[in-house]
Amino acid sequence: MQLTVRYFAGARAAAGRAEETAPAGRSLDELLDELTGRHGERLAMVLKAASFLVDGVACHDRQAPLPAGATVDVLPPFAGG
């Protein structure tokens, strides 16, 4: 069972891709540990400041299991004016 991780802006640059898949059933914190292991410290720094959506809804429980088929959006802080 898989889920999709989509990266935006600086997260995309740090991961070197727009999206990828990962196993479902783990928590967001466990997923972020895996992604850091895959992509290194540059992505880890972005993940520390990022917000996360699970199927379009802000993720407030980082320990809840992520369901199969879910989409996790990684949204780094955006600059704007």
Q: What is the pLDDT of residue 17?
A: 97
Q: What is the pLDDT of residue 78?
A: 77
State phi, psi for 18 to the nearest 5 degrees: -85, -35
- pTM of the model as a whole: 0.92
Per-residue pLDDT of the chain (81 residues; tens, 9 = 90+): 999 999 999 999 999 999 999 999 999 999 999 999 999 999 999 999 999 999 999 999 999 999 999 999 999 987 655
Helices first, then strands: H and E counts in the chain: 3, 5
